[in-house]
A and B are shown apart, each in its own frame.
Chain A
Amino acid sequence: MSDVADRVKKIVVEHLGVEEDKVTESASFIDDLGADSLDTVELVMAFEEEFGIEIPDDAAETIQTFGDAVKFISEAV
């Protein structure tokens, strides 16, 4: 697993308090990992901070799953 994926997973696990093995490629933050809409905003904030990138609101809306997040961030950094 890539370095980006590891760092994203760590944030997701810490923020949502879920088991690491639940955070799979297709795991939806809201449907599978128990996030509410505010959690998703906070996750995006945490990603921005961790990777020093800006994630615009319209892009943030497309990040639904762990895989989406890793893909977006890998392309952005």
Chain B
Amino acid sequence: MFDLTGKNALVTGASGGIGGAIATALHGAGATVALSGTRVEPLEALAAELGERAHVLPCNLSDGDAVDALPKQAVEAMGSVDILVNNAGITRDQIFMRMSDEEWDSVISVNLTSTMRLCRGVMRPMMKARWGRIINISSIVGATGNPGQVNYAASKAGMVGLTKSIAYEVASRGITANCVAPGFIATAMTDKLTDDQKDKINAQIPAARMGTPEEIAAAVLYLAAPEAGYTTGATIHVNGGMAML
């Protein structure tokens, strides 16, 4: 249904489960993709799997200069960035009373500040092209909160406010900015949980299971498509009914 032929997409965190699925979905719809992440090996493996129209652009998102350089590298590799997916994220979970400044700063820096920098980096060419798609991967906990994740939840809620404000500013230029907020998705991040923890989580989800990375990618694919041109400033919650927002 959705055709992204001729569009160029930059996806951060493409070495992870959700990011990899997003890149695969966009690529499958015909887009050229730039895969960014910190770990080169999985990026290379994914690029090899995708074949043509896939570029690897390693980037450490806690390094501000590297983040500012990334959109330029993506333009060099692909010719433009029509679709930006800010998917990369880290967690440094800690009960709030014990949370250090470093734990706070590192999560805000990678999840929120790098998102802002990358959005800023692609804005000028998108404005000129009168077309652009910004898709920021937030989280259910940005809306609901979560014990032990003061920093992560703040960064993910921050992404929603950032995205809405950008959406306001550039809507008249054919650029949309939206969030996708995953609930619990089966990835390396959730693999760290014990079976007992997983059972407890599943009991809170009306769908009674964790989601798949492909179910997140499907929402991103929609938002990236020309058909989604009238959807902006929105957050699509993909969480099995865990929080009906």
Q: Which residues of A contact B (CB under 8 A)?
A: 38, 41-42, 45
Render B164-194 as a binary contact track against A, CB cut-off 8 A, 1 for contact.
Answer: 0000011011000000000000000000000
B128 touches A38 (CB 8 A): no
Q: Which residues of B contact A (CB under 8 A)?
A: 124, 127-128, 169-170, 172-173
**Number of residue pairs spanning A and B whose beta carbons lie under 8 angstroms apart:** 11
Q: How far apart sit A45 and B128, CA to CA, in the bound complex (Å)?
A: 9
Sample of 11 A–B contacts (CB below 8 Å)? A38-B127, A38-B169, A38-B170, A38-B172, A38-B173, A41-B127, A42-B127, A42-B128, A45-B124, A45-B127, A45-B128
Q: How far apart sit A41 and B127, CA to CA, in the bound complex (Å)?
A: 10
Cβ-closest chain B residue relative to A38: B169
Q: How far apart sit A38 and B126, CA to CA, in the bound complex (Å)?
A: 13
Q: How far apart sit A73 and B125, CA to CA, in the bound complex (Å)?
A: 22
Q: How far apart sit A45 and B173, CA to CA, in the bound complex (Å)?
A: 14
Cβ-closest chain A residue relative to B172: A38
Report the 3 A-B pairs with minimum CB-CB distance, sorted nearest first.
A42-B127, A45-B124, A38-B169
CB neighbours of B124 from chain A (8 A): 45
CB neighbours of A38 from chain B (8 A): 127, 169-170, 172-173
Q: How far apart sit A38 and B124, CA to CA, in the bound complex (Å)?
A: 11
CB neighbours of B170 from chain A (8 A): 38
Q: How far apart sit A42 and B124, CA to CA, in the bound complex (Å)?
A: 8
B26 to chain A, nearest CB (A): 27
CB neighbours of B169 from chain A (8 A): 38
Cβ-closest chain A residue relative to B124: A45
Cβ-closest chain B residue relative to A45: B124
Cβ-closest chain B residue relative to A41: B127
B44 to chain A, nearest CB (A): 36
